[in-house]
Amino acid sequence: MGRALIIATLVTLTAMACASAEGIPPLERRAQRLNEAIMCPVCPGESIDQSQNALAVQMRGIAVEKLGQGWTEQQIKDFFVERYGPSVLMEPPRRGISLAVWVVPPIGVIAAGLALAATLRMMRRPTRRQAEPPSQEPGLTEEERARYFSRIEAALDDRGNEKPAEHKE
């Protein structure tokens, strides 16, 4: 038990030491964030940070160069949007028709939750048939009921009078 605790502590401390961002220069951290936010025009679904395509490598170099010249991250994003279109951004803009990408999913989740709540509430509520006590009378008159019972008794008597079939071997 003690040995497992020591090993877990050492693994945790090693992971924390490896994750330290203190040794990374601020310019490189900004470039990393920017590279994760720009999509490679050649590789669908990959940021220029992930892609090994020559164009992505070139775009990473341009981003570092522009950051070194004092450009802001938004100016660099606008630079790439101007050349490759708005689809070059990993995150769609929050204005115009692209605003629907940000608004529709939360509304859909809320609507689905409300529909689920309404459905569950309706399932818990007893239906009209369950709420009413079952009728004792099946809707037959006394005369109809007497004929019905006499037919049942006659059928049962006929079955009782039949001789069982003999077994032939």
Digits of tens for pLDDT over the chain (169 positions)? 778 778 888 888 777 766 655 678 888 888 899 999 999 988 888 899 988 999 999 999 999 999 999 999 999 999 999 999 888 988 877 777 778 878 889 999 999 999 999 999 988 887 766 656 555 555 778 898 899 899 999 988 877 666 555 545 4
- Residue 68 CA to residue 7 CA, distance in Å, equals 43
For residue 107, what is the enclosing H or E element?
helix 99-124
Q: Locate tokens 């809320």: which residue? A: 110
- Residue 34 CA to residue 71 CA, distance in Å, equals 12
Fold held by 22-91? Helicase, Ruva Protein; domain 3 (1.10.8)
- Residue 133 CA to residue 119 CA, distance in Å, equals 25
